[in-house]
A and B are shown apart, each in its own frame.
Chain A
Amino acid sequence: MRRKLEITITHLYPDHMNIYGDLGNVIALYKRCEWRGISVKVEKVGLKGRLPKETDIYFMGGGQDEDQITVFRDLLSKKDDLTEQIEKDVSFLAICGAFQLLGKYFLTGEGKVIEGIGTLDIETRAPDTKVKSRCIGNVVASLNSEIFITERMQLDTIVGFENHSGQTFLGKDVQPLAFILKGFGNNMKDKTEGCVYRNVIGTYLHGSFLPKNPHIADLIILNALERKYEGKFNFDELDDKEEVLAHKDLLQRFNVL
């Protein structure tokens, strides 16, 4: 008899870091567990809330500028706990603002340095206040084949929408999640998008990232299961017709097929 699998998703700062459709990612993780018969629950941790001692997947989205500063101060108080769990391979999906906050520092447009919690070896600089440019628009990127066995995945690209002014540069301890085919990604220069460190995925693709990238959603769930139940898992494939259609619409639009 198969044992009943359980997954806990911890949604960090759902009220403050939920700027634009970030909830879609939690919905995707939740449903894809549920559809496979994995028992799943979502716990929310807000400002002044305590991190759980044990969880399987952390999710944190982007926020409005003001909220991001509030959240950032709070997150600093959780730094040690969070870092410890990440080093023990807890899964973490960090989108946009959350991705930035996990880094070493954020240099504001006015030249002020905000020290990050430093879990990820990344640095983010806001453009000079005189620069009005923003990285905004649809994104298509090919997954980093050095860290993903892309031949075995049903899709080897990621698609989404980015909207950020911060320019993020990766250090040597993290690897790019993907390489840009259309859009900007981490910054306007080096064509990298997002990063991977242990079981942490950071990305600038906000909102409906996981629904249209079911292979990444499954990867996160699989990593979490393998860590929790210590073993290899081959879980049921789902019928991803609609996911793949929505994904390929963007590939087609930008002639990346």
Chain B
Amino acid sequence: MFIISNLAKIVIVLLRFFRLGGGTSLPGLLIEKYFPSLISKSARKYKEIVLITGTNGKTTTQQLLKHLLTTKGIKVVSNVSGANLFRGIVSAILMDCNLFGKVRSDIAVFEVEEATIPNLVKYLVPNYIIVTNLFRDQLDAYGEVVKTRSYIQEAINRSREAVLILNSDDENVSSLSTGLRNKTIFFSIQDKRKKDIFFERKYFKFTGDKPRDNAFAEKIKINEDLSSVFDYVGLNKIFKNIEFSPPGIQNIYSAIAAITTATQLTNFNNKELNKVFHSFIPAFGRGELVNVQGRSIKILLIKNPASFTANLSMLRSKSALKLMIVINDEIADGRDVSWLWDSKVELLSEADISWITVSGKRANDMLLRLKYAEVALLSADVESNIAEALSMSLARLKEGETLYILPTYTAMLGVRKAIGNITKIREFWK
């Protein structure tokens, strides 16, 4: 371990130095391939290991949980956005090891891609498994919902000691605990707006064989800037007036999952928690507000019908909406753009739209989707080049106005680069 760990670290340092991929996954790739069991030895030293999986909301849940624990002085290791395969997680652990192969952090909080988790739990023994939701995702990359769920079920079956933290508004998720003895906590939101969330058809029914604990959000208010205020009602704990900056109802699930887990690991009072939430900055592309030349840009990642629909449902009430939709079809976006037709773009047909810029490699597919959703095309500009489309949009945007950008994953990286060329923005792996 000593030599391997150091070799890997040298690789990471070199990669970082030369800015190759942010040094996020390559060392892990070497370990994954040749010495996977070495990682269990280091990982065993963590006091707690939390794994977060599910289709949407993994990154926000992870970042918030990390933020909550860090403010309590707990040292947390986590993987960086997007590096959620085996190698990315191994890389994160390696980075956390000192020269003697000992881990520096107390708690590990990792977001894990769904198909990776059954293999991962062979090497890391999780104390907590959070499952956010099971939506239809990029079919060409991930396959069917039932298949995805079977991976998670397999991982859970292998993790007898793990506390399960499951979304009970999604029965395909809550049913993962059926017949198991694991301690389980369900989380949900009590708000009728959740009907706009694109839950998949119920393939599995939850058959409760014993009572489960519940945590939920209630009294939800969505602010003008789309951030939210809500109360958390958990196990013997109530937190009032939590202000949460990631936009919309859909993100509140991440907040509830993170609070539920954090309060299992440490204690908060209401005032503390409010303060911690107040200082939380969303991950890039998850509703972060960027200021460019006195104009505001809000970037909302869309990766499947659920996130696209949730964002449109949230934006349709805005007056004089300025929108840029960027659709790419690289592997990380899904090569197949059929999902645009599963998304309820019709929600925009009655929105008050000033203009829309459509961009990306599949700009014309998006334009066509807008046409069939009867969204006024006269207000749509098409420019497949992302940097060009951004300049066009910024030129139309007046001072004090907000531009909402909905990009797919690689399109988001393109948008980030384009913004970076105009202003300074932090690197995404930091």
Q: How far is the CA of A168 from the CA of B364 in the complex (A)?
A: 31
State whether the Cβ of A215 lies closer than 8 Å to any Cβ in chain B. no
Write out, one digit per residue, whether chain B residues 332-364 have a CB within 8 A of any chain A CB (1) or not (0). Answer: 000111111110000000000000000000101
Partner of B338, one of A21, A66, A242: A21
Q: Given the complex, which residues of B lie within 8 Å of A163, measured CB to CB?
A: 139-140, 336
Interface size for B (C-beta < 8 A) is 27
* Interface-facing stretch out of A22-30, A48-56, A149-157, A229-237: A22-30
Contact between chains at A23 and B341 (CB < 8 Å): yes
**Contact flag A212-B342 (CB < 8 Å), given A137-B335, A161-B335:** no
CB of B201 within 8 A of CB of A246, answer no
Residues of chain A lying within 8 A (CB to CB) of residue B145: 64
Contact of A21 with B201 in the complex, beta carbons under 8 Å:
no
Within 8 A of A (CB), among B339-397: 339-342, 362, 364-365, 367-369, 371-372, 374, 377
Contact A21 B368 (CB under 8 A): no
Closest residue of A by beta carbon distance from B329: A138
B338 touches A208 (CB 8 A): yes
When the two chains form the complex, which single residue of A23, A138, A246 contacts B342, counting CB atoms closer than 8 Å?
A23
Distance of A19 Cα from B305 Cα, bound (Å): 12
* A207 and B335 form a contact (CB under 8 A): no
Q: Are A161 and B341 in contact, CB atoms less than 8 angstroms apart? A: no
B139→A19 contact, CB < 8 A: yes
| Residues from 6 to 53 in A contacting B, C-beta threshold 8 Å | 15, 19-24, 27-28, 31
Q: How does the 8 Å CB contact mask read for A232-257 relative to B, with 1 for contact and 0 for none?
A: 00000000001101100100000000
Q: In whole Å, how far is B337's beta carbon from the nearest beta carbon of chain A?
A: 7
Task: State the CA gap A211–B364 with chains docked (Å).
Answer: 11
Residues of B contacting A: mostly: helix
- The answer to whether B342 touches A20, judged by C-beta atoms less than 8 angstroms apart, is yes
Residues of B within 8 A of A125 (CB): none
| CB pair B341 A136 closer than 8 Å | no
List A contacts of B342 (CB < 8 A).
Answer: 20-21, 23-24
In the complex, what distance in Å separates the CA atom of A245 from the CA atom of B365?
Answer: 9
- Give the residue name and chain of the B residue nearest to A162 (CB): B336
Q: Is the CB of A19 within 8 A of B144?
A: yes
Residues A20 and B139 in contact, CB atoms below 8 Å apart: yes
Give the residues in chain A near B337, CB-CB below 8 Å: 161, 207-208
Nearest-neighbour CB distance to chain A for B139, whole angstroms, equals 5
Q: Does A110 contact B (CB under 8 A)?
A: no
Task: Tell me how far the C-beta of A42 lies from the nearest C-beta in chain B, rounded to whole angstroms.
Answer: 14
Residues on B with C-beta less than 8 A from A146 are none
Inter-chain contact B146/A66, CB cutoff 8 Å: yes
Q: Are A246 and B367 in contact (CB under 8 A)?
A: yes
| B100 part of interface (Cβ distance < 8 Å) | no
Contact call A64/B338, Cβ cutoff below 8 A: no
Complex Cα gap A23–B337 (Å): 13
Q: Which of A106-130 touch B at CB < 8 Å?
A: none
- Interface contact A65-B144, CB-CB below 8 Å: yes
B416 interface hit (Cβ, 8 Å)? no
Q: Which residues of A contact B201 (CB under 8 A)?
A: 15
> What chain B residues lie within 8 Å of A246 (beta carbons)?
364-365, 367-368
Bound-state CA distance A136–B338 (Å) is 13
Question: Cβ of B203 < 8 Å from any Cβ of A?
Answer: yes
Q: Are the CB atoms of A243 and B341 closer together than 8 Å?
A: no
Query: Would you list 11 pairs from A and B whose C-beta atoms are within 8 A, ordered by A residue?
Result: A15-B201, A22-B338, A24-B341, A65-B144, A137-B335, A138-B335, A161-B335, A208-B365, A212-B368, A242-B367, A246-B365
